[in-house]
Structure formats: C-alpha cells, structure tokens
Amino acid sequence: MLHDGNHRFGLLLEETVLRYRIGDDAAMAGQLGRLLAVMALPNVSLGVIPFTAQRLVWPLEAFYLFDNRQASVELLTAAVNITAPSEVATYAKAFSELSELAVYGAAARALISDAITALG
C-alpha cells in the first residue's frame, strides 16, 4: 500500500515521540531510519511538530483520518471509529491546525537525525 503509488499519506509526529525509548539503541535507530526513508517517498508527507512550536491546539489522543470519511481514535481502553461527518470534520480541522505547527522536509529530517545522534 505504501509503495503502490495509489495512496497518499500525511503523517504528523511530535518531536517528543522521536525520543521515546521503545527499544535499545539499535531498534530506535532502525525505527528513526525508517522514518527518514519513508519521508522520501513521493506519496508521503511527514511533519514533525517541534518542541518549540507555539501551541494553540493540543492533541488529546492519537487519531487517524481516512479520506475525511472516517476518523479512527486510539483511547486507553478502545479504538473508536467515527463516521459522522461533523465529528470527522472536527478531527480534520485538528489535523490541519497541527499540520501548521509542523516542520517538513530538511527541517523534519534534521530533527529525526538529531534524535538518532542522541542515541549515542
């Protein structure tokens, strides 16, 4: 799906996520390296919201949008699929506002590379 060219992916990550230790240095470097590789694909837009971003909106939970027809929200005890247009629009607006806080391209690559370097 990622490489077939028929789908577009817009991804946002908080800079803090790049630093969460979910494995040893090798595992972390592999995960971060994968982000660098994926963001080079023409159908992927990967933004990183830096620590220094002036926040007007805060994500309360992880969520995914599917063509503005469905939002999937990860909660502590469940995943919720939302299809009501007005509710999906709320998540689309949040994604748009968060996207404006993010850096892309070389600036995003630099943040990811800094996280790799910090592994030691």
- Domain shared by 26 and 65, yes or no: no
Pick from 53, 62, 55, 44: which is nearest to 103 by CA? 53
Q: Would you state the structure tokens that stand for residue 7, as one six-digit string?
A: 């789908």
pLDDT (0 to 100) of residue 57: 74
- Domain shared by 97 and 107, yes or no: no
Q: By the 8 A CB rule, do 36 and 112 touch?
A: yes
Indicate the average pLDDT of the chain. 92
Dist CA 87 CA 101 (whole Å): 22
Average pLDDT over residues 14-25: 94
- Domain shared by 69 and 108, yes or no: no
Q: What residue type is 51 in one-letter code? A: F
- Domain shared by 13 and 35, yes or no: yes
Say if residue 40's pLDDT is above 70.
yes
**3-class DSSP state for residue 88?**
helix
pLDDT (0 to 100) of residue 55: 82
- Structurally, the chain folds into a number of domains equal to 2
- Domain shared by 17 and 46, yes or no: yes
- Domain shared by 40 and 10, yes or no: yes
Average pLDDT over residues 73-81: 92
Q: Which domain holds residue 94?
A: 54-101
In eight-state DSSP terms, residue 103 is: B
